[in-house]
Structure 1
Amino acid sequence: MTVTSAVLSTVPAAPEQAAAHFAARLAFEADVSDVHADLTAKVPGLVVVDSRSAESWRQGHLPGAVHLPTAEIATRAAKLIPSDTVVVTYCWGPGCNGATRAALEFARLGYQVKEMIGGYEYWVREGFTAESAAGPISRPADDLTAPVHAVTCGC
């Protein structure tokens, strides 16, 4: 009996190609745990940008984030964010490409930029505190996205 592999039906990349690919992804993306760690440590030269609507911002956003909807980046970014800053963009979550669109706008303006994968959804699901129009909000960590009794996944 012959076993057909769904995984191996496409030959894996050579190790050198895989290393280049994964290194490139890390140059473009940051996860919520790493962003949380940097915000907590107050790493200089890093600005987190929420690219969602005003209504979404009021519902909840990352503490210390700058609210700059994607449609306003081209006209307002230079007034709000120094050009030598590394920008981390986020939107709702993995089902939304708003953070990607925002990152593209920042890159076109000459900023170094990364996209926070997982977005606001995974920030909240990992149990990190957010801010809303009503004040701080938090939920318990979702055990499908983060360890319930630890600060990070340790990966």
Structure 2
Amino acid sequence: MTTTPSIASPAAANPVLRVLPAPPAAAAAYFAASLAFHADVSDVASALAAGGDPGFVVLDSRSTASFDQGHVPGAVHLPTALIPEQAEQLLDKAVPVVTYCWGPGCNGATRAALALAELGYGVKEMLGGFEYWVREGFAYETWEGARTREADPLTTPVEAADCGC
């Protein structure tokens, strides 16, 4: 069901409400779908840190130079352009894939997720990408070895285990 947003009078509404919120049922469907397509950095890190098989594989879709500069520990490296040729050699279609690229300003993870979905893989995109992985203080690997940075207090709570969301 497609719902056309209601337009309020520009003079009567502030910029946020010039286009009114979607009806609750449409909003619920949209946000439920969003959760089926996306995972956040903190949830991915938590699942990986729990030990054992997280039930998914993390895929870095960037270039080799970018991967070597830094990547999520254990991530499969498969640049987007190589997915059609190499995905079946590196990935099991029975295991969901979580893609990431540089960060929110890059749609490389989206392109990788699309390519994988077109090949029949279950896939989610990791919101925030590698940028937010590092900004939230999670360990990462480079060609020189393991690294961590102090968490950015604008992206994650400093004094708590999680943000509570």
Query: TM-score, normalized by length of structure 1?
Result: 0.95
Equivalent residue number for residue 61 of structure 2? 51
CA distance in 1: counterparts of 2:54 and 2:136, whole angstroms: 24
In the alignment, the residues of structure 1 paired with residue 23 and residue 124 of structure 2 have an alpha-carbon distance, to the nearest angstrom, of: 26
Give the distance between the partners of 2:47 and 2:121, measured in 1 at CA: 19
Matches of 1:9 and 1:3 in 2, distance apart?
8
Q: Which structure 1 residue ranges, 5 or more long, are not aligned?
A: none
In 1, Cα distance between equivalents of 2:135 and 2:160? 13
Three-state SS of the structure 2 residue aligned to 1:30 is strand
Aligned residue for 1:136, secondary structure, equals strand
Q: Give 3-state SS (helix, strand or coil) of 2:159's partner.
A: coil
1:63 maps to 73
Query: Alignment length, in residue pairs?
Result: 154
Higher radius of gyration, 1 or 2: 2
CA-to-partner distance for each residue in 1:48-104, whole Å, 9 max, x for gaps?
000000000110000110000001111111111111010000000000000000000
Q: Given the alignment, which residue of 15, 28, 41 partners 1:32? A: 41
Cα shift readout 1:78-136 (whole Å, capped 9, x = no counterpart): 11111101000000000000000000000000000000000000000000000011111
Provide the alpha-carbon RMSD of the alignment.
1.2
The answer as to whether partners of 1:50 and 1:68 remain within 8 angstroms in 2 is yes
* Structure 2 Cα separation of the partners of residues 83 and 143 of structure 1: 37
**Residue 80 of structure 1: which of 79, 82, 90 is its match?**
90
